Amino acid sequence: MTNPTKARTAREKLILALDVPSLDEAVDLVKELKDEVGLFKVGLELYAHGGTRLFEAMRAEGVLFFFDCKFHDIPNTVARASEALVGQGIAMFNVHAAGGFEMMHATVAAAQRAAQDANVQVPKIIAVTMLTSISDKEAEEIGFSATVSELVPKLALLSKKAGLDGVVASAKEVNAIRKACGPDFFIVTPGIRPSWSSNDDQKRIVTPAQAIKDGADYLVIGRPITQASSRRDAARRIVEEMESTT
């Protein structure tokens, strides 16, 4: 398996969120959809149920996967946790940019050392800027004086300076991130909803076509595919919509 660089095809740009409560369900989804999507996202709900057995299962299926762990702690703790992920077959994992420059920089250094020692590729490390469930009102309630659209490019630039490969951010902030960080910085966008699906609990959302048009590198999509009556058809429809922008 090769860790992702810049995705070339629409299928490679599609990340399926495995937001299910059991390892068996996750493996079934991987088996069913590994020819339709580029990567699979293992999030906190699934990890709480399956633990590191998930990583073994993903490796057994021969798929690329993104561990959406969202590490946010003191630099030493996050660095040591990141070292432990190297060698698990993880293509990409993330931390919270709000953890600060030192935390992110220590994470990159630790992952690089561990990869060199194990003679494996370094996973792509990206940072969460602001969760797509956070609105300006909620950002103010937390204590931020700036708006979400002002905070995101600042956090993205901080992540780049710390040596990270990219960020997780709403497609609505892609243009601002590109201006701040340049064309080679990864942008992974959740909060994607096709026009034919519901918004669920996401607030800063866009369609797959608009996200690709705006310059997103990867799209994270879950329920519009996993809860569809035909999951393969839903994935194919989304890929077709992404291709329509090229």
- Residues recognised as catalytic: 70
β-pair partners for 219: 14, 189
Q: How far is 180 from 66, CA to CA, in rounded Å?
A: 25
Tracing tokens 């992702």 back to the chain, one arrives at 4
Nearest in space to 41 (alpha carbons), one of 10, 72, 4, 5: 4
Look up residue 82 and give its two tokens: 């990141």
Look up residue 193 and give its two tokens: 């909803």
β-pair partners for 33: none
**Contact predicate 124/112, CB 8 Å:** no
Tracing tokens 């997103």 back to the chain, one arrives at 216
Q: How far is 228 from 232, CA to CA, in rounded Å?
A: 9
Indicate the SS3 state at residue 168.
Answer: strand
Q: What amino acid occupies position 204?
A: R
Indicate the SS3 state at residue 216.
Answer: coil
Q: How far is 134 from 142, CA to CA, in rounded Å?
A: 10
Tracing tokens 């792509």 back to the chain, one arrives at 124
**Contact predicate 4/65, CB 8 Å:** no
**Contact predicate 130/96, CB 8 Å:** no
